[in-house]
Amino acid sequence: MIPGVLTVAGSDSGGGAGIQADLKTMLALGVHGMSVITAVTAQNSVGVQGAWELPVKAVRAQYRSVVDDIGVRAVKTGMLSSAELVETVAELIAGTDAPAVVDPVGVSKHGDALLAPSALDSVRTALLPVATVATPNLDEVAHLTGVRVESEDDLRRAAEAVLAFGPRWVVVKGGHLAGDAVDLLTDGSQEHWLRAPRHDNRHTHGTGCTLASAIASQLAKGQTVPEAVMAAKEYVTGAIAAGFALGAGIGPVHHGWNLG
Active-site residue flag, 50: no
Active-site residue flag, 206: yes
Active-site residue, from 10, 18, 175, 209: 209
Length of the chain, please?
260
Give one DSSP letter per residue of 175-196, joined into a string: TTSSSSEEEEEE-SS-EEEEEE
Beta bridge partners of residue 183, listed in sequence order:
173, 194
Active-site residue flag, 260: no
Active-site residue, from 135, 204, 210, 237: 204
Beta bridge partners of residue 40, listed in sequence order:
11, 52
CA atoms within a 13 Å half-sphere pointing along the CA-CB vector of 208: 27
113 secondary structure, DSSP code: B
Active-site residue flag, 208: yes
Q: Strands of 32-44's sheet, edge to edge?
A: 47-53, 32-44, 4-12, 74-77, 100-102, 133-134, 169-173, 181-186, 191-196
Active-site residue, from 18, 33, 206, 251: 206
Active-site residue flag, 210: no
Active-site residue, from 4, 175, 208, 243: 208
Active-site residue flag, 125: no
Active-site residue, from 109, 173, 221, 233: 173
- As annotated, the active-site residues are 173, 204, 206-209
